[in-house]
Chain A
Amino acid sequence: MADRYWVGGSANWDGLALLKWSTSSGGLGGASVPTTADDVFFDNLSTGNCIISTGNTGAKSINCTGFAGTISGTAGITVAGSVTLVASMTYTYSGVITITGTGTLTTAGKSLSNITINGSGITVTLGNALIANTITLSQGTFNANIYNVTAARFLSNTSAIRTLTMGSGLWTLSAASTGTTLAPWNTATTTNLTFNKNTANILLSNNTATTRSFFGGSLAYNKLTIGGNTGTSICRIENASSFTELASTKTVAHTVRFVTSSPTIDTWSITGSSGNVVTVDTVTAGSRRTFNLSNVTSGIDYLSVRDIGVNQANRFYVGVNSTDGGNNLNVIFTAPPSIGYTITAVNGTYLVSGQNATLSFGRLLSAQNGVYSVAGQAVDISVGAPPAPTLGIELFVEIRSFTERRRF
């Protein structure tokens, strides 16, 4: 293991040492070509355009701190550890970087081409937001940390032992294809895959009319958003994945197509609008696909629904302007019913729609649909929520405070 500094100016990084490498910063050339046992540095004394070329034997790590030159080329390279790019450099390299060792990927806003993580027991962690073309997790762990991941696609459709930690950033995936190697997401094979959805959201951002597939496997995701404002496209949910929320930000007509049965959706928030109907259907007319829906829908309208079954009754309200394409089950073409609650409040802290409301002893809170302010906190009692299992809910906890709200 040694250090190798680029002193080759504008030249190929290939299998020929010549005078391109030094053992010290700005030192004399003549050192051997680095291998995956050597740390490679492009620093403030490195200049020119290093063209990564066929014949290179990789690096243990690549660190470009201080470098103001260029890295280019198209040949693949193997790095057995960290890659550190910097804003001051020019980066036009379009080859595949295969990472085979534990390290941090810090790219300083540079757009990478393809990245493959492939090492038994290794962990690759993002040091900042990542922009790339195709990200492939073949083996090992990819940890997106707290940063955004922006790519054409993410693929991990193997059976090798691997872990994907999504982190808390936004994953924006721009590919549009139904092919297993070109789709924006493919984790269809979940064998030996440990998946941590964390709080990351996935946004399918392609804005063309090309069909795109989400091969999610039987994994539980946080939020999946069908994005790309324009493009009357089809988004295929290929597998029985679970989603905390399934959403769409498209402002044009488009289609959500369920290919297989049994996805689980906690919150459905895909709605159309007048003139921009969202079609929800299956691949083959007459062949119903069913999914599980955890929460009652609200505010949904202008859908065209065909061959869709919901395993739970009285949850999938799709609005009066939606149309029934036939062969649906438990799809209700009305708005959800308005239900008022009567909550007899006694001393205590109440959990209402996820928020604490502190009420005073003996007060009666007669709630109608709407958003209420109780003791300084917003209490969202959603329209169309299912009837409360009991009225006169009493939770005896501590007395905190009371603020009279005359609107009740």
Chain B
Amino acid sequence: MTPATIKIDFKFDTVYGVFCDALHLPADHSYTDDQIAAMKQERLDNWLFVVENPPEPEMTEADNG
């Protein structure tokens, strides 16, 4: 049985463009607004880290410039 959830869309403006994401929370959650804001911020921070620290490029194919 799939638990009921609610979806909260959110977005942040960043130097790289707009970050658009969503939180999926249990329908009966008891998170406060501050806690939800912290979750959103965590998602943003996580995304910024990935954007700013991408994995090293794979180089198994020839670079033909």
> Which of B24, B51, B58 is the one whose CB lies under 8 Å from A108?
B24
- In the assembled complex, the Cα of A169 lies from the Cα of B50 at a distance in Å of 16
Q: Which residues of chain B have C-beta atoms less than 8 A from A106's C-beta?
A: 24
Shortest Cβ gap from B18 to chain A (Å): 6
> Which of B17, B20, B58 is the one whose CB lies under 8 Å from A129?
B20
* Size of interface on A: residues with Cβ below 8 Å to B: 50
> Which of B19, B23, B60, B65 is the one whose CB lies under 8 Å from A182?
B60
B17, A210: Cβ atoms under 8 Å? no
Shortest Cβ gap from B39 to chain A (Å): 7
Is A360 at the interface (CB under 8 A from chain B)?
Answer: no
> Which of B2, B20, B21, B62 is the one whose CB lies under 8 Å from A63?
B2
> Which of A65, A109, A152, A211 is the one whose CB lies under 8 Å from B26?
A65
Is B9 at the interface (CB under 8 A from chain A)?
Answer: yes
> Which of B3, B9, B43 is the one whose CB lies under 8 Å from A65?
B3
Within 8 A of A (CB), among B1-58: 1-3, 5, 7, 9, 16-24, 26, 39, 42-43, 46-47, 50-51, 54-58
Q: Which residues of chain B have C-beta atoms less than 8 A from A131's C-beta?
A: 46-47, 50
* 16 further A-B pairs in the complex, CB-CB below 8 A; given A84-B24, A128-B21: A43-B3, A63-B2, A65-B3, A128-B23, A129-B21, A147-B20, A148-B47, A152-B55, A172-B17, A172-B51, A174-B57, A175-B58, A177-B61, A181-B61, A182-B57, A182-B61
Chain A contacts to B: CB under 8 angstroms = 3, 39, 43, 63, 65-66, 84, 86-87, 106, 108-109, 111, 127-129, 131, 133, 146-148, 150, 152, 168-170, 172, 174-182, 201, 203, 205-208, 210-211, 225, 227, 234, 236, 257, 283
